[in-house]
Structure 1
């Protein structure tokens, strides 16, 4: 099949041009620049810093997305070691382009959307090894759905920003007990410790946690530790024992719990962690040739 024939198998509304993982060092700056003809979606996997978009400044946080429209002057500053994945794409549908322009520029990524984004990342690497034409269409259409999901959830989150009830596990930074738990993931934290810190009876702590976040404080602690453990498995070369210790668990308990919750061992999860691989894949021949 010719290159021309392959290019026909792209989504008519959106085509992904490039997917790339980038690692940034502490205090690294990306100078202000402009992309004239395409959008850029930046998924910050870990780290923190600041993004300038035209005349606005936004905080950079792990597990957040940042959407940069064409002809927008933007720059990044990272105040710690950070990892981000860039998705450069073109929009051809004017209606869709106009609709997207009215949505938030940045926001948190749900676990479901992060999993989907990792899948499109992995598909791009598979395409590089075996350029099957249908893979491009799958990436285009799949990424489009994930992008719209990110934007819709972000707008809904903005509208309900004063609410505390959420359908999925989040940071709950506006709920003091959840915020306290998040700050003490590595401590040997008990229900009594939490109750004593806030000056409430343990039964009352359980009740208000269930009312606000839909689970007990110890369930929330376990979920947040598992979430952090997956980040460590993906982003560090720490051993399973070292990760267990950092999260206040024994190695045997961590391994058993991880397998029970995720269906695979921590070591197997690490082998499948696609973000542990460096990748810079161009999916559109014209831009690749131009080196843009």
Structure 2
């Protein structure tokens, strides 16, 4: 089999979802040949460098260039997504900040980083290239997100699943996951006849508003099962469903219970997802890390 295609500027080496217990410590160290993007999903981190101290919490991420000495103290139970990557183009390396950066991530950015992690996990689990462009897609997708974090562009609201056009009514449903939204409420909110709203939704999404709302709630349920430690009952409450209703709907959609899906996902927690055979990760966790 021929060698997989990789991006000519950035190469993803490794990723992981890591759950840290309170007071876990990662001792000070520096990466010689690669950079790191650490994304905080939940919790709080005290990040130290040679000459400064940074506090990281939810909605923060940290870009750590190669050669930067750093260490972590996890002040409470913390969930992270971690990416380690090589910059292979000297011109891009010179253009990136030479010092540690603490950045805020947007909701859309986090969604894409989660998708990269899931694609990487699938690639790693297969032990073979999913298709000739699989690793290239991971590299270029991550590069785009990284550049977006460093040079943010205006966000676009109302992004429809699978579409690239703003649709404000869809955003309204996405922003109100925790309760039932009736067709009449949409009509009152946007000053359209209910029948016309159904037509608009079918044109934009291929489904009715009620079905669309159900789908985005199910997607959020899966995301919380994958990237949080919320219980299934807590997740059901967050999307405004009873636990039995969520269970029936999830079973019908996914062919397994929400609890079984959570157990399947947890197999990847604290596991190396290596995308470059020669890469070796060193954890350097001093104490307190969850198994």
Q: When the two structures are superposed, what TM-score results if normalisation uses the length of structure 1?
A: 0.61
Query: What is the rounded CA distance, in whole Å, between the counterparts of 1:274 and 1:151 in structure 2?
Result: 34
- 1:138 equivalent in alignment to 2:153: no
The counterpart of 1:111, out of the listed 103, 107, 111, is: 107
Q: Which one has more relative contact order, counting CA pairs under 8 Å at least 6 apart?
A: 2
Q: 1:95 aligned to 73, 84, 91, which one?
A: 91
Q: Equivalent residue for 2:80?
A: 84
Listed as ranges, the matches of 1:110-259 within 5 Å are: 110-128=106-124, 129-132=126-129, 133-153=132-152, 233-234=225-226, 235-236=228-229, 238-240=231-233, 242-243=234-235, 251=242
Provide the C-alpha distance between the structure 1 equivalents of 2:115 and 2:263, rounded to a whole number of angstroms: 10
CA distance in 2, matches of 1:94, 1:81: 38
Q: Unpaired segments of 5 or more residues in structure 1? A: 158-165, 170-225
SS in 2 for 1:287: coil
Name the CA shift for 1:25/1:287 in 2 (closer, same or farther; >3 Å).
same
| Displacement of 1:146 | 1.1
Aligned CA distance change for structure 1 residues 250 and 84 (closer, same or farther; 3 Å): closer
Cα 1:243/1:28, change in 2 over 3 Å: same
C-alpha change, 1:249 and 1:285, in structure 2 (3 Å) is: closer
Shift of 1:27: 1.0
Partner of 1:284: 276
Question: Secondary structure, in 3 states, of the residue corresponding to 2:231?
Answer: coil
Structure 2: how far apart are the matches of 1:116 and 1:273?
23
Q: How many residues align?
A: 216
Higher fraction of helix: 1
Query: What is the CA-CA distance between 1:25 and the residue it aligns to?
Result: 0.5
- TM-superposed CA distance for 1:250, in Å, is 6.5
C-alpha displacement of 1:284:
1.3
**Shift in Å at residue 13 of structure 1?**
0.5
The answer as to whether partners of 1:118 and 1:275 remain within 8 angstroms in 2 is: no
